[in-house]
Amino acid sequence: MKFSTKAIHTGEEPNYEINGEVVSPIHLSTTFARRDPEVPAKGYEYTRTSNPTREALEKKLASLEEARFGLAFASGLAAETSLLLSLLKKGDMILASDDLYGGTRRIFESVIKKFGVEYRTVDLTSEVSLESLEPEPRLIWIETPSNPLLKIIDIASLSRKAHKIGSMLVVDNTFATPYFQNPLKFGCDVVIHSTTKYVSGHSDTLGGATVTNNEELFEKLKFHQNAVGAVLSPFDSYMTMRGIKTLSIRMREHEKNAIRIAEYLTNRSEVERVYYPGLEDHFNHEVAKRQMKGYGGIVSFTLNLNKEKIRRFLRNLRYIALGESLGGVESLIEIPSLMTHASIPKNIRDLMGVTDNLIRLSVGIEDIDDLIEDLENAFGGI
Ligand SMILES: Cc1ncc(COP(=O)(O)O)c(C=O)c1O
């Protein structure tokens, strides 16, 4: 099956023994009755452990990443925390790329550090040697494209280096989605998603996922999914599956609009710099071209305007809403330093390049002429 067919049919095959529904039903029951205390009915016991609707989604997510195993969690951060708790122990080190969603960095800094797990961040966009690192990282964690600077990291090259020193590579694939990038094919060990974003796509349901081909790792993750209990509810599993059915057409439209907006911004005098991996002058455009099938729908840019003018520009927008999150059908704009990345201290943000004049735009699938007009009017009114 090709991508769009899998997005629609995997996990939702009609059950001809019952009613033949073409849409997988929402199984709300938290518990499953059995005739024999030693034999669970059809394998289900309790919804935290497994649930037919969540399983349908997990199967769909795995198939879209061309992977063997998928697990769904209550949010992207719940998936991340479960993964970290399953893999790490006291004394372990995480090596993370320097540009990451603020909430992920917050888990490293404020949640797992107190259990004796350390982390350090490095710019992994250029060739770096991992062999001299002391202590050797147990886990390498990257986003590519990254949030919010759209940095691109060569997954195949980093996978080889990670495995050489006995580390695992985790790739957060939220920005690219499985439609534009399959990191497991390039050798990484686990893929993470915030399905809250493009995967569900309508800004109406939270969710997260881990996907892997490694059976031993999957068993560990599955154990922790149940033991920690941060699972996705049956209703949210249904909502996520509903969104996935249009993932391919949405991603094509997001990208088409994002390219137009990146080009438009490049020509505005108020714009200092545009970050979009589809632009030929992007630092790792060639790597993006090699490992991605498309460049996605997020465009970041810096403005050469003072704070008051930036606020006026944002207030002048009519369709593009000022708000956190990304990946929905509606366009959303934000200032990372004040919003999604505010939990990172200013000195570190400035070092990362997440400066106070940086804007992140999640380009929706509205008509592109309206979006350009919206930006044009907002610039015109400052
Ligand atoms: C790249 C990335 N990973 C993970 C997350 C966390 O996901 P969630 O908000 O679903 O917990 C986000 C949220 O913005 C994100 O942008």
pLDDT tens, per residue, the chain with 382 residues: 999 999 999 999 998 998 999 999 999 999 999 999 998 888 899 999 999 999 999 999 999 999 999 999 999 999 999 999 999 999 999 999 999 999 999 999 999 999 999 999 999 999 888 988 888 999 999 999 999 999 999 999 999 999 999 999 999 999 999 999 999 999 999 999 999 999 999 999 999 999 999 999 999 999 999 999 999 999 999 999 999 999 999 999 999 999 999 999 999 999 999 999 999 999 999 999 999 999 999 999 999 999 999 999 999 999 999 999 999 999 999 999 999 999 889 999 999 899 999 999 999 999 999 999 999 999 999 9
- Is 276 found in the same domain as 163? no
| Residue minimizing CA distance to atom 6 of ligand 1 | 76
Contacts 24+ apart (CB under 8 A), 252-257: 252/294, 253/365, 254/198, 254/296, 254/297, 254/363, 254/364, 254/365, 255/180, 255/294, 255/295, 255/296, 255/297, 256/368, 257/297, 257/363, 257/364, 257/365, 257/366, 257/368, 257/371
What pLDDT score does 128 carry? 87
Non-local (6+) Cβ contacts of 256 within 8 A are: 368
What pLDDT score does 43 carry? 86
- Is 180 found in the same domain as 52? yes
- Is 204 found in the same domain as 56? yes
CA 382 to centroid of ligand 1, rounded, Å: 32
Ligand 1 site residues, Cβ closer than 6 angstroms: 75-77, 101, 103-104, 143, 147, 172, 174, 194, 196, 206, 208
- Is 373 found in the same domain as 285? yes
Distance CA 206, CA 252 (A): 22
Give the range of the structural domain holding residue 356, as residue numbers without chain letter.
Answer: 247-380
CATH number at residue 359: 3.90.1150.10
- Is 240 found in the same domain as 263? no
172 catalytically annotated? yes
Helix, strand, or coil (residue 192): strand
- Is 277 found in the same domain as 200? no
CA 77 to centroid of ligand 1, rounded, Å: 6
101 catalytically annotated? yes
- Is 258 found in the same domain as 196? no
Which atom belonging to ligand 1 lies closest to the Cα atom of 206? 10
- Is 278 found in the same domain as 218? no
What pLDDT score does 132 carry? 84
Distance CA 101, CA 93 (A): 19
The number of distinct structural domains making up the chain is 2
Choosing from 244, 264, 284, the residue where a domain stops is: 244
What pLDDT score does 42 carry? 85
Choosing from 223, 244, 265, the residue where a domain stops is: 244
Choosing from 244, 275, 298, the residue where a domain stops is: 244
CA 379 to centroid of ligand 1, rounded, Å: 29
48 catalytically annotated? yes
What pLDDT score does 41 carry? 83
- Is 264 found in the same domain as 195? no
| Residue minimizing CA distance to atom 2 of ligand 1 | 101
b or e along 72-100 (b: 16 or more beta carbons within 10 Å of the residue's beta carbon)?
bbbbbbbbbbbbbbbbbeeebbbbbbbbb
- Is 79 found in the same domain as 169? yes
Structure tokens at 276: 């979009």
